Amino acid sequence: MAVYLRRLFCSSNMYGVSSDARHFGISYISEVRAIIGQVLLGVGMTVVVIASFLYVPAIPGFGATGETARIIVYHVPAAWIAVLAYLMSTVHSVAYLVTRDLSRDRRALVNAELGTVFCLLATITGAVWSRAAWGMYWNWDPRQTSIAVLLLIYAAYFVLRSALNDADRRARLSAVYATLAFVTVPFLAFVVPRVFPSLHPDLGAGGGRASAMSPEVLVVFLASLICFTGLYLWLQNIGVRLYHLQAMRLLKRGD
């Protein structure tokens, strides 16, 4: 009986509508704040792009002259956002399995899409850099293997989603797949690059060739990280609102 009552009261949440309500009731103040944020983001990105060409000096230790190493201003933040978005996608997938709230599924999907876009950017910039520094676009370096597997997993994730018609079943099964992938992928993404010798420079470890970053590079690099994170948050917000409106329209049609 209690369960039945709960279902009755929670039925309005069946399409995950109420928990997205904050995206719907946009007040005047939050709109002004959003516009300020977008302007700041646009200015920041422009400054980073110009600075990466004109201000950042060559970084010795990368390639022959270090001229090509300026690409880290784009490559590393893109990879960071890819990892962050995939992580958030998994978090929302697990949250969907626990709460069965479809707005969580939409968030997982938006993050998976954004993660794939940034992962592609990281792969392409990495391949271009690899060509400039070592003469080959692709040679199955452990880092390249792990990023290729990440892309494959999310490609399979999107195929799985497209093969399921029912919204609840799609959300449930794709959440299970994303979680299962999250358990097995650390082998490739984090263990393999550290066990097998890789050409990829390690920025965090400190012992690598790249540990000495000059202050000019560091400033632009950190600014780029912040701007990329802002861009990610903005795109995520747009995606969530878009899928929310689509779900609302389906609801109105009585589907």
Partner 1 sequence: MSWHRKCIAVLQKDMRLEFRTRYAFGALIMFAVTTLVAISFSLAGGIVDVDIAASLLWIIFFFSAMTGVSRAFVQEEETGSAIALKMAADSGPVFLGKFLFNAALLVGVAVLVVPLYLVMFNLSVALIGGFVATVFLGVVGLAAAGTILSALAAQSALKGSLLTVLSLPILLPLLIGATNATRTALSGGNINSMMTDLSMLIFYNGSVLAASLLLFEYVWCE
Q: Interface with partner 1 by CB under 8 A: which residues?
A: 97, 149, 152-153, 155-156, 159-160, 163-165, 169, 172-173, 175-177, 179-181, 183-185, 187-188, 191-192, 195
Positive or negative CA dihedral for 228, 232, 235, 237? negative
Number of neighbours of residue 144 by Cβ within 10 angstroms = 20
Minimum distance, C-beta of residue 179 to partner 1, in the bound complex (Å): 6
Rank residues 51 and 176 by Cβ distance to partner 1 and give the closer one.
176
Minimum distance, C-beta of residue 175 to partner 1, in the bound complex (Å): 7
Rank residues 182 and 243 by Cβ distance to partner 1 and give the closer one.
182
Rank residues 36 and 155 by Cβ distance to partner 1 and give the closer one.
155
Per-residue tokens: 153? 């997993």
Closest C-alpha to 128, from 190, 78, 183: 78
As a whole number of angstroms, the distance between CA 138 and CA 131 comes to: 8
Task: Using only the alpha carbons of the chain, give its radius of gyration.
Answer: 21
- CA dihedral 158→160→162→166, nearest 10 degrees, is -130
Number of neighbours of residue 51 by Cβ within 10 angstroms = 17
Rank residues 52 and 174 by Cβ distance to partner 1 and give the closer one.
174
Packing angle of the helix pair 215-253, 102-134 (nearest 10 deg): 140
- CA distances from residue 92 to 116, 134, 177 in whole angstroms, order as listed: 16, 39, 13
Minimum distance, C-beta of residue 79 to partner 1, in the bound complex (Å): 18
Minimum distance, C-beta of residue 169 to partner 1, in the bound complex (Å): 6
Rank residues 133 and 160 by Cβ distance to partner 1 and give the closer one.
160
Whether 67 contacts 208, CB under 8 Å: no
- CA dihedral 226→229→235→240, nearest 10 degrees, is -140
As a whole number of angstroms, the distance between CA 255 and CA 251 comes to: 6
Minimum distance, C-beta of residue 87 to partner 1, in the bound complex (Å): 17
* Residues 80, 81, 83: CA angle, nearest 5 degrees: 65
Minimum distance, C-beta of residue 9 to partner 1, in the bound complex (Å): 22
Minimum distance, C-beta of residue 119 to partner 1, in the bound complex (Å): 13
